[in-house]
Structure 1
Amino acid sequence: MSDTKTKLTQPQVRGSWVQTERKAHEKWASLISRKPRAAALLHLIIANMNSRGALIASQTTLAELSGTSVSTVKRSVKVLVDEQWVQTIRIGSERGGALAYVVNRRVAWADKRKNSQYALFDARVLVSERDNPQGLEGPDLTHIPSMSPADGQLPSGDGEAPPSQPSIDGLEPDLPHLRD
């Protein structure tokens, strides 16, 4: 597997920047004057997209984040799709499903430009409590503690009783401890 392909399969860390084309900014200015809600939604999508230019979110969540109604989001998405600012990919059924919004790479990107030649698809997913009446916290899950290589174990808690054989003087066990 080539180095480029290997890098594409690694999880991406979301950066704090995106890049845009100057020509796209000129057209974006026109969009702002013609369809301000669609232009604002495009900003919101780009601000939350991952390094591949994709975001998965329900229209309810986008409406909540943009301070508009779901019908305004639907109209805005139609404008953005019709004018080729974004592509939508349906996830799930038309009723109850969500859309993946993929930003046109000629408009904005957040990864190395040369990676645009690959069709690897992943996305950031935004969810809202409004879309999840059962809540986002969920039940307490079983947690298995794990240690990093530099971590040291510190005995604590009730635990089992100590071994029945007492320590031999001068050969006490060397338990890990914090040093000043």
Structure 2
Amino acid sequence: MAHEKQVVDYSTGEVGTVNDNFVQLYVDKLDLIIEMTGENPTAVKVFTWIIKHMDRRNALVVSQTALAEAFGVSDRMIRYSIAYLKEKKALTVLKSGNTNIYAVNAQIAWKSDANGKRYALFDAAVYISEAEQDKPLFSTQLVGHAQSRERGQKQIKKKSA
């Protein structure tokens, strides 16, 4: 199946099947998502974008500048959207120095099995903006996935039907 993959449990040698590229949404929280869509569509776009890019423990490291660049909106609009999502308890923002770690409420959406929900320690997917980087001193695979853009140009592309 396209959304499943085989994994090996290295402690037992058993092969199991898990969902890949899968997000679980809880039915009892869909009304909240519908409510937020009516009240603040930009915040819901940011929320679903974070869900799409978060790791298997519901976390994503990304700056507000990179979010603003990805959506073609102002930093202020991102701050407003994040504050709204925090107010709705859809996500929380953890800090590591000046770094924002966005954690999606696991009672709304979850990307892994239920066993991992109780852990606070996580590896995070990190999304960086090329505009925030100094010119690298050497070539690296880490910089360059984010696309630079001209001021005001939208980064999110709509699918055409």
TM-score computed with the length of structure 2 as normaliser: 0.71
After TM superposition, list the pairs within 5 Å mapping 1:45-60 onto structure 2.
Answer: 45-60=50-65
Task: Give the aligned CA root-mean-square deviation in angstroms.
Answer: 2.1
Map of 1:32 onto structure 2: 37
Ranges in structure 2 where 5+ consecutive residues have no aligned partner: 1-10, 12-19, 141-161
> Among 62, 79, 88, which residue is 2:84 paired with?
79
Structure 1 residue 122 displacement after superposition: 2.1
Highest CA radius of gyration, 1 or 2?
1
After TM superposition, list the pairs within 5 Å mapping 1:39-118 onto structure 2.
Answer: 39-92=44-97, 97-118=98-119
- Number of residues of Structure 1 aligned to a counterpart in Structure 2: 124
Ranges in structure 1 where 5+ consecutive residues have no aligned partner: 1-5, 7-14, 142-180
Structure 1 residue 118 displacement after superposition: 2.4
Question: 1:60-102: per-residue Cα shift (whole Å, max 9, x none)?
Answer: 101111221111000000011111100101222xxxx221000
Higher fraction of strand: 2
Structure 1 residue 26 displacement after superposition: 1.4
The answer to whether the Cα contact below 8 Å between 1:86 and 1:104 also exists between their aligned partners in 2 is yes
Distance in 1 of aligned mates of 2:93 and 2:139: 35
Map of 1:124 onto structure 2: 125
Q: Look up the SS of the partner of 2:95 in the other structure.
A: strand
Distance in 1 of aligned mates of 2:122 and 2:21: 20
AA of the residue aligned to 2:92: Q
Distance in 1 of aligned mates of 2:99 and 2:139: 27
Q: Look up the SS of the partner of 1:32 in the other structure.
A: helix
Structure 1 residue 124 displacement after superposition: 0.6
Map of 1:150 onto structure 2: none
Distance in 2 of aligned mates of 1:66 and 1:26: 25
Structure 1 residue 128 displacement after superposition: 0.9
What is the percentage of aligned positions where both structures have the same residue?
Answer: 29
Q: Look up the SS of the partner of 2:34 in the other structure.
A: helix
TM-score computed with the length of structure 1 as normaliser: 0.64
Distance in 1 of aligned mates of 2:44 and 2:75: 16
Give the 3 Å change call, closer, same or farther, for CA 118–34 of structure 1 in structure 2. same
Map of 1:159 onto structure 2: none
Structure 1 residue 140 displacement after superposition: 4.3
